[in-house]
Amino acid sequence: NAGVTQTPKFRVLKTGQSMTLLCAQDMNHEYMYWYRQDPGMGLRLIHYSVGEGTTAKGEVPDGYNVSRLKKQNFLLGLESAAPSQTSVYFCASSYDRDLNAYEQYFGPGTRLTVT
Amino acid sequence: QQQVKQSPQSLIVQKGGISIINCAYENTAFDYFPWYQQFPGKGPALLIAIRPDVSEKKEGRFTISFNKSAKQFSLHIMDSQPGDSATYFCAASVSNFGNEKLTFGTGTRLTIIP
Q: Evaluate the CA torsion angle A23, A29, A30, A36 in order and state its sign.
A: negative
pLDDT of A4 reads 96
pLDDT of A6 reads 97
Start-to-end CA span in chain A (Å)? 36
> Mean pLDDT per segment of 10 residues, for chain A of length 115 residues?
92 97 95 94 92 93 96 96 97 82 90 97
Instruction: CATH number of the domain at B11, please.
Output: 2.60.40.10
Out of A44, A58, A95, name the one closest to residue B98 (CB).
A95
Q: Which domain holds residue B76?
A: 4-113
pLDDT of B96 reads 67
Residue of A nearest to B1 (CA): A59
Tell me the pLDDT tens digit for each residue of B60-112. Answer: 999 999 999 999 999 999 999 999 999 999 999 887 665 668 899 999 999 99
- In percent, how much of chain B has pLDDT > 90? 83
pLDDT of A97 reads 72
pLDDT of B97 reads 60
How many CB atoms lie under 10 A from the CB of residue A17?
14
Bond from prior residue into B82 cis (ω within 30 degrees of 0): no
Instruction: With CB atoms and an 8 Å threshold, state whether B104 touches A43.
Output: yes
> Mutating which of A102, A105, A110, A111 best tests the B interface, going by the most B Cβ atoms within 10 A?
A102
**Mind telling me how many Å the CA of A79 is from chain B's nearest CA?**
25
pLDDT of A96 reads 74
Instruction: With CB atoms and an 8 Å threshold, state whether A44 touches B42.
Output: no
**Mind telling me how many Å the CA of B96 is from chain A's nearest CA?**
10
How many CB atoms lie under 10 A from the CB of residue A114?
19
Who's near B1: CB < 8 A, 6+ residues apart?
none
- In percent, how much of chain B has pLDDT > 70? 94
On chain B, the residues whose CB falls within 8 A of the CB of A103 are 46, 49
Is residue B107 a contact partner of residue A42, using CB atoms and an 8 Å limit? yes
Is residue B67 a contact partner of residue B55, using CB atoms and an 8 Å limit? yes
Q: How far apart are alpha carbons B107 and A93 in whole angstroms?
A: 21
Instruction: With CB atoms and an 8 Å threshold, state whether B100 touches A104.
Output: yes
Residue of A nearest to B9 (CA): A40
Instruction: With CB atoms and an 8 Å threshold, state whether B101 touches A58.
Output: yes
pLDDT of B2 reads 61
Would strands A19-25 and A105-106 be described as parallel, antiparallel, or unpaired?
A: unpaired
Tally of structural domains, chain B? 1
* Of B29, B28, B59, residue with least CA distance to B46: B59
pLDDT over threshold 80, residue B25: yes
Q: How long a stretch of residues is chain B?
A: 114
